Amino acid sequence: MVVTAAPPRGPNNPPIIGNLYAFRSNPLQFLIKAAREYGDLVYFRLAVQHMYLVNHPDYVREILVNNQGNFLKSRALQRSKVLLGEGLLTSEGQHHLRQRRLVQPAFHRERLAGYASAMSGQAVKACERWQAGSSMDVSVEMSRLTLSVVAKTLFSADVESEASEIGEAMTAALQMFQLLVMPFSEYLIKLPLPSVRRFEKARALLNSTIYGLIRERRNSGQDTGDLLSMLLLAQDEEQDGGKKHGGGMTDTQVRDEALTLFLAGHETTANALSWTWYLLSQHPEIERRLHQEIDTVLQGRAPELADVPQLRYTEMVFSEALRLYPPAWGIGRMVKAPFELGGVEIPAKAICILSPYLIQRDARWFPEPEKFDPERWTPEARESRPKFAYFPFGGGARVCIGERFAWMEGVIVMAAIAQKWRLRLDPDQHIEPLPLITLRVKNGLRMTAEPRAANISASIRTKLPTKT
């Protein structure tokens, strides 16, 4: 039942465009100001679209868990079907449930073990590529690394040789995402714009690569232990009783899921790692403690799956980086039927914005919210907070399917790199977030790599008595 309730609070909405201009020019700043001024539920309009900013963990639970059936992925994400088809990220209802059942086994614990060595191997390769004292854009490096991890774990492919070509296509596809999430983009993509042509080219390249791989794998009939094999082998016992042919996925479904995992699994993790290196470079004490843990656990060898539970401080650092800079900084949901939230009636077709970036920086749940403090992630500290005060991976039926994969990748990559290198921020950079689909580092992140072994031996040498 809908309660006739208090009118929602929020900023003035100028005629016709509402707050579209302010929101589009700096969405984070707009939302932060709105929450500060109007509290836990804020109403505003973007042109004709009614928007509700939801800024309390209990409300997040209401939307993502308790009433999740009353919401659709926001229209913005639905528009990206042009790229992702009916993959997990974009599909809804029964189709989504079936696909989720089919894809889930690819993320079971036994399968993840196989992915850990790919993660470690690719991180070690990245370490070997870097030169002492040379400056690089760490966000580009992390992107290259997570791309190679997802290619290896998804397709057993080594994209290093073609990394730039596929990387280019992915970047163009991500730029297209930007276009797709704009209001009225369904019309924009019919125009002969250069960005639309670039997207078409990128999509054609991605399609030909993925369909090629599917064909090869179907012909060979091999289970290579990667995600693609799992997708091809998947049978939906529940819905189709595992009927031969009936219970699996068509090539198009496999393509949609593979491309979804490829995109969802690459950019998010790259962002999270980039922000982690930035934060570590600003907090030498925390970096030192991280090095200590890594050196003690690994004793100089490359990390593997069995090390992950021992690398607890590493995981705490990664958790804290995901708190301050959650790659999925805003999660959108469109309301199906009117409902009541915190005494306010939310109409059908309104969009609710749930922002991990805002809630995870709220002093009610995280005192001194701007402070980078991995100690917030001891088991006791976690217990003391409401569950949805921290939700970098979303929640409920649509929680990130790659969450465990991402934690494992974060910890393994951090350990492999921090064991060998210390990354120092180059001077004269103003580092700030760029909230696109994911939370990128605006203008890149230039850092210089210093070899750690050399530092250690240098510090030992300084302590040795000098020969006379």
Binding stretches for ligand HEM (CB under 6 A): 73, 88-89, 100, 260-261, 264-265, 268-269, 272, 327-328, 331, 392-394, 398, 400-402, 405-406
Residue of this chain nearest to ligand HEM (CB atom):
402
Closest by Cα among 237, 236, 235, 230 to 214: 230
Taking the least distance from each CB to ligand HEM, the nearer of 68 and 175 is: 68
What is the nearest approach in angstroms of ligand HEM to the Cβ of residue 262? 8
What is the nearest approach in angstroms of ligand HEM to the Cβ of residue 49? 17
CA distance 414 to 394: 23
What is the nearest approach in angstroms of ligand HEM to the Cβ of residue 300? 28
What is the nearest approach in angstroms of ligand HEM to the Cβ of residue 144? 16
CA distance 31 to 42: 9
Which residue is associated with the tokens 């302590």? 463
What is the nearest approach in angstroms of ligand HEM to the Cβ of residue 330? 9
Closest by Cα among 62, 75, 133 to 339: 62
Taking the least distance from each CB to ligand HEM, the nearer of 22 and 227 is: 227
Closest by Cα among 106, 87, 104 to 95: 87
Taking the least distance from each CB to ligand HEM, the nearer of 46 and 149 is: 149
Distance of CA 237 to the CA centre of its chain: 30
What is the nearest approach in angstroms of ligand HEM to the Cβ of residue 264? 3
What stretch of H or E contains 424? Answer: strand 421-425
Taking the least distance from each CB to ligand HEM, the nearer of 101 and 452 is: 101
What is the nearest approach in angstroms of ligand HEM to the Cβ of residue 395? 8
Taking the least distance from each CB to ligand HEM, the nearer of 18 and 262 is: 262
Number of other CB atoms surrounding residue 187 within 10 Å: 8
Taking the least distance from each CB to ligand HEM, the nearer of 176 and 334 is: 334
Tokens describing residue 112: 């993840």
Taking the least distance from each CB to ligand HEM, the nearer of 10 and 326 is: 326
